[in-house]
C-alpha cells in the first residue's frame, strides 16, 4: 500500500471515529429526559390545588352566610316566642298565626344549622385533601428540579463535546481528498460506516472475512479496495 493512500485512509479513519462520536452524542442528546413529563404532572397538580382552594373559599363563604342567616332567624323566632308567651296577645287567631310563624322559623333555623354542620365536615375533608395535594406537589416539584438540573448539566457537557468534535472535523476535512470524502459519505450514509479496518483478516465494519485476493490487492495497489460484503472502504495497517 502506497504511503499517500495509507495516510489518506488514516485520516479517513480518524474522521469516521469523530463522526461515530458525534452521532452517539447527538443520539444521547435527543434521548435526554428534559423533565417535561414531570413538569406536566406538576402543572396538573397546581391546577388541582387551585381548584380545591377555590372550593374551600366558596364553602367557607357559604358557611359564614348560613351562620349569619341562622342567627337572624333565631332572633326573629325568639322575639316571636317572647310575644307569644309574654301574654300581650290575647286574640286566639292571632296567637295561632304567630305560633305557626314561630314553628316555621324554627324549621328554617334547623335546616340552616344542619347545612352549617355539613359544611364544617366538608371543609375539614377539603383541608385534608389540600394538604395531601400540597405534599405531593412539593415532592414532584423537587423531583422536577432535580431532573431539570441534571438535564441542563448534561446538555451543556454534550453540547461542548459536539463543538469540540466539530472543530476537529473541520480541521480534518481539508486534508482529505474530495473524491475520497465523497465515497466515504456515500457509503456511511448507506451502511452506517464508511471505512473499516482489516484486523486478523476480518472487516471491522461487518465482521466478514476478507478474501486473500483482496488482502494482497490491499497491500499492493494504490486504488481503493472495498469490502465485498458491506462495501466499506478497507484500511489495513501493517
Binding site for Zn ion (CB under 5 A): 203, 205-206, 227, 229-230
Minimum gap (Å) between residue 177 Cβ and Zn ion = 22
For the bound state, the minimum distance from the C-beta of residue 12 to Zn ion, rounded and expressed in Å, comes to 15
Beta bridge partners, 196, equal 234
In the bound state with Zn ion, the residue whose beta carbon lies nearer, of 1 and 202, is: 202
CB of 19 to Zn ion, least distance (A): 17
Least separation in angstroms between CB 15 and Zn ion: 18
Residue closest to 127 by CA, chosen among 208, 53, 30: 53
Q: Output the nine-digit C-alpha cell for 238.
A: 501493517
Whether 89 and 98 have beta carbons less than 8 Å apart is answered as yes
- Residues 37 and 10: their CA atoms lie apart, in Å, by 45
> Please, which residues have CB within 8 angstroms of residue 78's CB and are 6 or more apart in sequence?
none
In the bound state with Zn ion, the residue whose beta carbon lies nearer, of 79 and 211, is 211
Minimum distance, C-beta of residue 163 to Zn ion, in the bound complex (Å): 32
Q: Which is nearer to Zn ion, 63 or 225 (CB)?
A: 225
Pick the closer one to Zn ion by CB: 136 or 204. Answer: 204
CB of 203 to Zn ion, least distance (A): 3
Distance CA 102, CA 220 (A): 120
Start-to-end CA distance of the chain, whole Å, equals 10
- Distance between CA 136 and CA 191 in Å, rounded? 49
For the bound state, the minimum distance from the C-beta of residue 140 to Zn ion, rounded and expressed in Å, comes to 50
Say if CB 13 and CB 180 are below 8 A apart.
no
What CA–CA distance (Å, rounded) separates 228 from 81?
A: 112
Q: Which is nearer to Zn ion, 176 or 227 (CB)?
A: 227
Residues sharing a CB contact under 8 Å with residue 96, sequence separation 6 or more, in sequence order: none
Closest by CA to 207, choosing from 217, 197, 215, 221, is 197
Q: Which is nearer to Zn ion, 20 or 43 (CB)?
A: 20
Nearer Cβ to Zn ion (70/233): 233
Amino acid at each position: 500500500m502506497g504511503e499517500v493512500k495509507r495516510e489518506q485512509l488514516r485520516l479517513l479513519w480518524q474522521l469516521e471515529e469523530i463522526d461515530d462520536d458525534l452521532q452517539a452524542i447527538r443520539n444521547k442528546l435527543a434521548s435526554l429526559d428534559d423533565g417535561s413529563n414531570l413538569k406536566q404532572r406538576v402543572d396538573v397538580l397546581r391546577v388541582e390545588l387551585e381548584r380545591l382552594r377555590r372550593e374551600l373559599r366558596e364553602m367557607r363563604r357559604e358557611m359564614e352566610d348560613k351562620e349569619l342567616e341562622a342567627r337572624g332567624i333565631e332572633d326573629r323566632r325568639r322575639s316571636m316566642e317572647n310575644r307569644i308567651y309574654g301574654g300581650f296577645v290575647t286574640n286566639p287567631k292571632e296567637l295561632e298565626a304567630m305560633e305557626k310563624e314561630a314553628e316555621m322559623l324554627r324549621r328554617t333555623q334547623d335546616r340552616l344549622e344542619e347545612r352549617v354542620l355539613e359544611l364544617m365536615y366538608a371543609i375539614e375533608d377539603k383541608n385534608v385533601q389540600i394538604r395531601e395535594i400540597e405534599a405531593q406537589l412539593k415532592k414532584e416539584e423537587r423531583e422536577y428540579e432535580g431532573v431539570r438540573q441534571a438535564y441542563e448539566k448534561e446538555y451543556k457537557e454534550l453540547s461542548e463535546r459536539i463543538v469540540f468534535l466539530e472543530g476537529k472535523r473541520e480541521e480534518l476535512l481539508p486534508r482529505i481528498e474530495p473524491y475520497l470524502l465523497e465515497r466515504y459519505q456515500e457509503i456511511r450514509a448507506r451502511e452506517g460506516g464508511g471505512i473499516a479496518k482489516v484486523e486478523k483478516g476480518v472487516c471491522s465494519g461487518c465482521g466478514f472475512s476478507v478474501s486473500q485476493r483482496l488482502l494482497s490487492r490491499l497491500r499492493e495497489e494504490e486504488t481503493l479496495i472495498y469490502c465485498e460484503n458491506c462495501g466499506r472502504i478497507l484500511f489495513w495497517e501493517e
